[in-house]
Amino acid sequence: MYRPWFSRLLQKLNDLIHLFIALALAGASILVIVQFGKDVWHGLHAHNLTLAFLHALGTLFILWVLSSLIGAETTYLRDGTIPLTVFVEVALITLLRQLILIPVEGDTGHSGAWQGLGFYWMIIAAVLVVGIAYYLVSRRN
């Protein structure tokens, strides 16, 4: 019961969805660039430049993720494929961002500090595992 008209309709819908995704990624990138500018501006006027710098760096990592996703969407629109490395790269960038922002969002108190330290080491281990996975996946491609 193959219906060619229905298949074409679904393909057009898929193309429209990917156009929407591309436009949403572009819009999100512009908003993140504006947020980065605000973070830098607030950092210049704050008493704690280190904290403001780390927040701006965290925003920059979000922009990096969006850049990877835009590259993947471009590849999909051109070739119809999405490289597996994109998903591993996004996971790695997200973990690195978390690693940088943990000291900024650290807990106060003695027991909280130990819980934070354990979580920090788990993130480091995850970065190593995902980094190895990225190396293996990118080497295969």
| Backbone torsions φ then ψ of 81, nearest 5 degrees | -130, 155
- pLDDT (tens digit, 0 to 9) for every residue of the chain, 141 residues total? 678 888 899 999 998 999 999 999 999 999 999 999 998 888 888 777 777 888 888 899 999 999 999 999 999 889 988 889 999 999 999 999 988 887 776 543 444 444 567 888 899 999 999 999 999 999 986
Helix axes 84-101, 110-140, angle to 10 degrees: 160
Instruction: Give residue 105's pLDDT.
Output: 66
Rounded CA separation 109/106 (Å): 10
96: helix, coil or strand?
helix
